[in-house]
Structure 1
Amino acid sequence: MKINIYIKQSLVIFTALTLFLGCNDDFMERAPLDRLVNENFWNSQSDLELYVNGLYQVYIWGHTQDPRRPPFSVRGSHIAYGDVISDNATNMGQNIDVRLTDAYVVPLNDDNNGWSWGNLRQINHFLANYRRAAIPEETKQAYAGEVYFFKAWDYFRRVQIFGDVPWIAADLAVDSPELYAARDPRALVMDSVLMCINRAIAWLPAAGGANPVGRIDQDKAQFLKSRICLYEGTYRKYHTEIGLQSSAAQWLQESVAASDALISSGRYALYDNGRADAYWALFAQRDAAIRTNPEAVLGVEYNFNIGVMNDLLVYYHDNIHLGITGQKSLVDEYLCVDGRPIYIGGGPGSYVDNPLFLGFGKWTELENRDPRLTQTICRPGEYISIFNRSTGVYDAQANGINFPRLQFTGLEQSGYRFIKHWMPDKDLMDRAHGSSQSVIEFRYAEALLNYVEAKYELGNLVQQDVDITINRLRERAGFDFTTYPSSRLLIGNEPVDPRLDAIYADKLDYAVTPLLREIRRERRVEMAQEDLRYWDLMRWKAARLLTVPMRGVRMTAEMQELYSGSHANGLINPTTGILEFATIALLNRDVFVDEDGFIILKARSTNMSNGILPWSDYRYLWPIPTGQLALNNLLTQNPGWE
């Protein structure tokens, strides 16, 4: 039974159950309702399955338009748009999200920041009752394993947001003293999370093969363990202020073991369609194609035939997410095709260009770069500008080129428009709120990156590890190791990058070796627009990278002439003969540039200056709503939010 099928079939029944459980009357926010006592329910396998099925859509978000994704609200898809809270992208509008600034005010109530416990109550209620079913113990444990998987995931997200949180192990009654307990230490909570995910692995059925849209199995649990343990291990290493450095290695070893379980299984591989655009095509699949995608460990299939669809393409084409554009900080990090960065010598103000780097004129910076760059960021004339929705023709010659509409508050703030996750599919677009573009929640590539990073942090990384991870990813992307041997990452022969090294030296309070720099670069590039960057910065204690000036493309003299307003009715390119439509974008009216000519993002913002985000270290953790502190005098606020 597939995830998308059983989410649909069980939704009504699960909703009815959760009404009894009081999921909207959060027991951490107000006096709880009496526990559900239903002697007629916990009897059969179908009872357990119906209950557990409802948890899938609670925890596996996919391309949902539901904005309730703590601690940030992101409509359309947390995967496609989650990076808007990081240094990879920016949102549409004059101002930056206030939650990315020091002006964020502690909410009175949950306010979707993550301090909500209704879902956990559903989990604990199952764990308190599932043994009543008159079915074989192995069957009961399989369903309980799924619930322990979700409990580990739930608490992991809580710890990411708040640090110390109350650990609730039981199905609580109205008068349970645990309702008003203090926060438990991070170490205790995460040890309990590890117990949950290990129990899930032990009780879940083995994966008979890659089955991304099937029930939770051991492989999916190993993936989650890989992610959780890498996060916790690196957080403990770099956040010395919490005093848990001595236990960091244990968590990193657990991450390595979980990643290795997936790698050595032979059930997963990097997607390759035999074309140069394999990386882009990985994210542009619909309907049942995800079932046979070897890179999908966990995914959600959307399909018209079963009535399960999403709004991803609507938000990509007709809504505000046209205005989510990339930042120069991300684009600069992509290597050239020779495996070296855009600058190979010199220092700030006098960098030496890589001979393959073509500079910043009219998007020439996208050429001769890591092939993933132009499968993530559009060249001029790509994207919807050359896709005619009326005819379904995807052809620059037929439809001409429409350069980005550069506006300081509008749809094209930076000039770096994303093409990753976009599909030129007339059928899907014509269905409005009915896209069947599928989504990968757990991608095998991340497990490879978890493995290589954890091995480095443990100090036992060898070249073979790099070859089966980073170099395999680069090979799939289209790097040519024969023509450019330096594009293959070799331990001890890492490229020089004076630009990025200078940023790290300025923003971080610890040294980053060339090898670690390349491991982190690979993760940023490979996983861009997949909702990982913000959390990577948090665990690395590298949030001051958010204060790198937010910039867009350089408005060269050629660019300024193109956008001067004199070509508002169209311009014939003398070389190609193609009609190029340029939208007016006057300097100091529609776009604002810095002293080097790069577009300043959020130039007229009232909550940041000169495109530079503020940062204070207390924001590594989020605040507990003040209303919760008033209800429970044993709860304490996170430092800096008092």
Structure 2
Amino acid sequence: MKRYSIITFLVASLVAALSSCNDEFMQRDPIDKMANGTFFVKEVDLQLYLDGIYRYYVYGHGIGGTNNTSHDKGFLPVKAGSQIIFADAFSDNTVYAGGIDGKLGGTYDTPTAASKNFDTPWQWEKLRKVNYFLNHYTEVGDPEDLKGYAAQAYFFKAWDYYIKLVALGEVPWLDKELDTASPELYGARMPRTELVGKILECFDFAVANLDDNDNSCGYINQDMALFLKSRFCLFEGTFRKYHTELNLQSTANGFFEMSRDAAKRIIDKNRYSLFKNAAGDGYWQLFIQKGSPETEGNTETILSRVYDGVKLGHDNPRYWGMNNHTRYCLGAPICVLEDYLCEDGRPIYIGGTAGNYEVNPLFKGYDGMWEELDNRDPRLRQTIDKPGEADSKASIFDMDDDTYGIEETGVIYPMIIYDTGGGSPMKHYNSTVTGYRFIKHWMPDYPEWEANPNGVQTAHMFRYGELLLIYAEARAELNEITNEDLNLTINALRERAGFDFTKYPNAKLTLSNIPADPRLDAIYAEKLDYSVSPILREIRRERRVETMIEGMRYEDLMRWKAGKLFTVPVRGMKMTPEKTELYSKNRNDETYKDFPFMVTVPIAEVGNQVRVDGEGFIIPYPTSTTVINGVRPWDDKRYYYPIPLNEMLMNPLLIQNPGWKDINR
């Protein structure tokens, strides 16, 4: 059998683009010019056609003005900015300015029609492009010699159906590019077991026929296919295990084994390692890199999208930085902070019961000035800013004169904002709903902000850190995890983050040293209809912390049948006397650079500007009629999204997902 190589068939300019990890090939879109039976003439046409498909799946931080870009997972309300970052706006990881989205607030209903844009899970145009390729690529030669091209298309087909499975559950399986007269348009939804089998066939073809290299910003390779297969199999295994209404629990372990084995194949290649730096903040630095991973000394990234700022760029730095005060303001709620361990590897509460918890001596509580961020998992301060500290990020950056550092800048406290459209002055960039400002992915780089829409911040889509979490969870679900596995995965992630195992040996997780967490155990007992072992609890915690603001949390809640975690009350920071005095400063004061800003809202409590609860914590959704006392509503029908009504009118074989409005009522 002839071995396929991308390089063999590319013109010299394209080879140069790939060797430097330039994404020029992702800009090519000859798909719209295709003519049935005439497009594929030469072998080089195959890759040129596939180039036009890449941008639909390897989306990264988007292209150009991402304000007009929809997320690949159209069921997430991502209207602007990075599709990786803002997907977490639809999870319990964040609070979003401007009120509660209908999908989170319980007011979303069955749509009448599927959008023509790629912003709904019930869309088939991308898949049509993939199927066209698979139906016609053999027109230029022997199929055996062209498997490498087909493998890329099968990878995208598996990815497309994976997204649909997460959102909709069972959907029709399509193998042809359809037109309005195609009978397949009126077929039934394929049963889940058959559908998943088809997806696995696509993954297996891709794994068997893709190049085995580590070019993280080139064409799809074997490692990328193994990674996505491992993630998919973990999703399906956990979904089958915990969604007992499917009666598929007995088949879950087979998927855990496939997830484990795919992850281990990558691990055993010894190509990847966690990114570290001398400053000890490698976790934060990873997400603000520019250029190809190899130029940054980064061997963690398995799949990335790289931008050159000339032929290909984006405006994520602007929307995650400068314009954070307008349409895209996210803040962390208290319930997120409480999941982070203290630096000794134990949670903030180490014993007792609600109302009478035994407090970890390292935890400073919520009084004072953001001291709750001290003595914690180092990733907390690399994800959420502590204003005024020498190692702060956002609060010691002055974009007006592009200075960075507490001596040069002073302190710019985070603005607290309920609505959108903060206006000027530009220091409103340092904004949040809750008082806790996310700084993961955020770079103090004014020229990069001004480069809009030609930013070059690298988008890491598949990374080794997540792969380690997948492997650990699969092993734990199979009841075969060992201390060696924990050292390879959880403890390696903690060590990279900055945990000091010499000072706190018990911060290293072992099977005989799993900390008690009465707070989190009580939440699981109340919100879940199954028990979670201590080791799985810690792996789930680690996953939430490590992948914060990477768009994974919603999918995790769905596969764990943990939607009721949305109802854990959300609160912002405590408005202590010190903070109340600080935030009472006049926003028009000439010395505003040293003080926070506020936006007046209709309801008045603290300083006529912020509403708080009886304990002094900020209420994130003060005007919402569906979020009461910080509790967001949940309905089990939200484990799937609805099929648009018009689709059911056109195809009577389609059956609506449970609980959603259909054409008969």
2:293–2:301 Cα contact (<8 Å) kept: no
Partner residue in 2 for 1:478: 498
Once the two structures are superposed, the pairs formed by residues 526-541 of structure 1 within 5 Å of their partners are 526-541=546-561
Q: 318-327 or 111-120: which moved more?
A: 318-327
Residue identity in the other structure for 1:479: F
Q: Find the residue that maps to 2:648 and give its secondary structure.
A: helix
Does the alignment pair 1:297 with 2:302? yes
Deviation at 1:457, TM superposition (A): 0.6
Partner residue in 2 for 1:358: 364
Gaps of at least 5 residues in structure 1 are 18-35, 573-578
Count of residues in Structure 1 that have an aligned counterpart in Structure 2? 611
1:408–1:590 Cα contact (<8 Å) kept: no
Deviation at 1:324, TM superposition (A): 1.0
Does the alignment pair 1:587 with 2:605? yes
1:568–1:581 Cα contact (<8 Å) kept: no
Residue identity in the other structure for 1:166: P
Identity of aligned residues (%): 44
Partner residue in 2 for 1:58: 56
1:571–1:580 Cα contact (<8 Å) kept: yes
2:396–2:406 Cα contact (<8 Å) kept: yes
1:302–1:436 Cα contact (<8 Å) kept: yes
Partner residue in 2 for 1:376: 383
Selected match of 2:70 from 57, 67, 70: 67
Supply the distance in 2 between the matched residues of 1:271 and 1:199 (Cα, whole angstroms).
31
Supply the distance in 2 between the matched residues of 1:265 and 1:557 (Cα, whole angstroms).
55
Deviation at 1:203, TM superposition (A): 1.2
Q: 240-249 or 2-11: which moved more?
A: 2-11
Distance 1:478 1:384, change over 3 A: closer
Residue identity in the other structure for 2:657: N
Distance 1:567 1:142, change over 3 A: closer
Once the two structures are superposed, the pairs formed by residues 77-116 of structure 1 within 5 Å of their partners are 77-93=82-98, 95-111=99-115, 112-116=119-123
Deviation at 1:289, TM superposition (A): 4.2
Partner residue in 2 for 1:416: 436
Residue identity in the other structure for 1:182: A
Deviation at 1:605, TM superposition (A): 1.5
Selected match of 1:258 from 244, 259, 262: 262
Once the two structures are superposed, the pairs formed by residues 218-237 of structure 1 within 5 Å of their partners are 218-237=222-241
Selected match of 1:469 from 479, 489, 506: 489
Partner residue in 2 for 1:330: 336
1:383–1:419 Cα contact (<8 Å) kept: yes
Once the two structures are superposed, the pairs formed by residues 488-527 of structure 1 within 5 Å of their partners are 488-527=508-547
Deviation at 1:582, TM superposition (A): 3.3
Supply the distance in 2 between the matched residues of 1:171 and 1:582 (Cα, whole angstroms).
55
Does the alignment pair 1:367 with 2:374? yes
Partner residue in 2 for 1:316: 320
1:270–1:295 Cα contact (<8 Å) kept: yes
Supply the distance in 2 between the matched residues of 1:215 and 1:433 (Cα, whole angstroms).
24
Deviation at 1:376, TM superposition (A): 0.2
Q: Once the two structures are superposed, what CA deviation does each residue of 1:520-565 show, in whole Å capped at 9, x if it has no partner? A: 0000000000000011000000010010111111112222222234
1:570–1:581 Cα contact (<8 Å) kept: no
Partner residue in 1 for 2:284: 280
Partner residue in 2 for 1:240: 244
Supply the distance in 2 between the matched residues of 1:584 and 1:178 (Cα, whole angstroms).
56
Does the alignment pair 1:155 with 2:196? no
Does the alignment pair 1:38 with 2:37? yes
Supply the distance in 2 between the matched residues of 1:570 and 1:484 (Cα, whole angstroms).
46
1:336–1:357 Cα contact (<8 Å) kept: yes
Deviation at 1:351, TM superposition (A): 1.2
Residue identity in the other structure for 2:409: N
Q: Once the two structures are superposed, what CA deviation does each residue of 1:413-444 show, in whole Å capped at 9, x if it has no partner? A: 10111110011123212223221111101011
Distance 1:390 1:413, change over 3 A: closer
Partner residue in 1 for 2:219: 215
Residue identity in the other structure for 1:474: R
2:583–2:595 Cα contact (<8 Å) kept: no
Selected match of 2:398 from 384, 388, 394: 388
Residue identity in the other structure for 1:179: L
Once the two structures are superposed, the pairs formed by residues 116-135 of structure 1 within 5 Å of their partners are 116-134=123-141
Partner residue in 1 for 2:425: none
1:6–1:53 Cα contact (<8 Å) kept: no
Q: 385-394 or 230-239: which moved more?
A: 385-394
Partner residue in 2 for 1:22: none
Selected match of 1:15 from 27, 32, 35: 32
Deviation at 1:385, TM superposition (A): 3.8
Q: Once the two structures are superposed, what CA deviation does each residue of 1:65-100 show, in whole Å capped at 9, x if it has no partner? A: 11244112311112112111111112111x210011
Q: Find the residue that maps to 1:351 and give its secondary structure.
A: strand
Distance 1:454 1:363, change over 3 A: same
Supply the distance in 2 between the matched residues of 1:317 and 1:481 (Cα, whole angstroms).
34
Supply the distance in 1 between the matched residues of 2:199 and 2:568 (Cα, whole angstroms).
34
Residue identity in the other structure for 2:154: Y
Supply the distance in 2 between the matched residues of 1:559 and 1:174 (Cα, whole angstroms).
62
Give the TM-score normalised by structure 1.
0.92
Deviation at 1:321, TM superposition (A): 5.5
Supply the distance in 2 between the matched residues of 1:175 and 1:289 (Cα, whole angstroms).
47
Q: Find the residue that maps to 1:352 and give its secondary structure.
A: strand
Supply the distance in 2 between the matched residues of 1:193 and 1:597 (Cα, whole angstroms).
50
Q: Once the two structures are superposed, what CA deviation does each residue of 1:588-612 show, in whole Å capped at 9, x if it has no partner? A: 5422222222111111113322221
Q: Once the two structures are superposed, what CA deviation does each residue of 1:455-477 show, in whole Å capped at 9, x if it has no partner? A: 11111111111110000000000
Partner residue in 2 for 1:575: none
Selected match of 2:446 from 423, 426, 431: 426
Once the two structures are superposed, the pairs formed by residues 630-641 of structure 1 within 5 Å of their partners are 630-641=649-660
Q: Once the two structures are superposed, what CA deviation does each residue of 1:1-23 show, in whole Å capped at 9, x if it has no partner? A: 43643435522x23323xxxxxx
Q: Find the residue that maps to 1:271 and give its secondary structure.
A: coil
Q: 307-316 or 560-569: which moved more?
A: 560-569
Partner residue in 2 for 1:605: 624
Q: Find the residue that maps to 1:447 and give its secondary structure.
A: helix
Supply the distance in 1 between the matched residues of 2:129 and 2:328 (Cα, whole angstroms).
37
Gaps of at least 5 residues in structure 2 are 1-14, 421-430
Supply the distance in 2 between the matched residues of 1:56 and 1:7 (Cα, whole angstroms).
8
Q: Find the residue that maps to 1:298 and give its secondary structure.
A: strand
Deviation at 1:172, TM superposition (A): 4.0
Residue identity in the other structure for 1:330: V
Q: Once the two structures are superposed, what CA deviation does each residue of 1:181-217 show, in whole Å capped at 9, x if it has no partner? A: 111111111110001000100111212xx21101111
2:95–2:331 Cα contact (<8 Å) kept: yes
Supply the distance in 1 between the matched residues of 2:336 and 2:174 (Cα, whole angstroms).
40
Does the alignment pair 1:444 with 2:448? no
Selected match of 1:341 from 336, 341, 347: 347
Distance 1:566 1:321, change over 3 A: closer
Partner residue in 1 for 2:563: 543
Selected match of 1:177 from 183, 189, 212: 183
Q: 75-84 or 529-538: which moved more?
A: 75-84
2:396–2:410 Cα contact (<8 Å) kept: yes
Distance 1:388 1:566, change over 3 A: closer
Supply the distance in 2 between the matched residues of 1:633 and 1:523 (Cα, whole angstroms).
41
Q: 402-411 or 183-192: which moved more?
A: 402-411
Q: Find the residue that maps to 1:152 and give its secondary structure.
A: helix
Selected match of 1:166 from 165, 172, 178: 172
2:314–2:452 Cα contact (<8 Å) kept: no
Q: Once the two structures are superposed, what CA deviation does each residue of 1:581-637 show, in whole Å capped at 9, x if it has no partner? A: 133576354222222221111111133222211001111000000010011111110
Residue identity in the other structure for 2:240: R
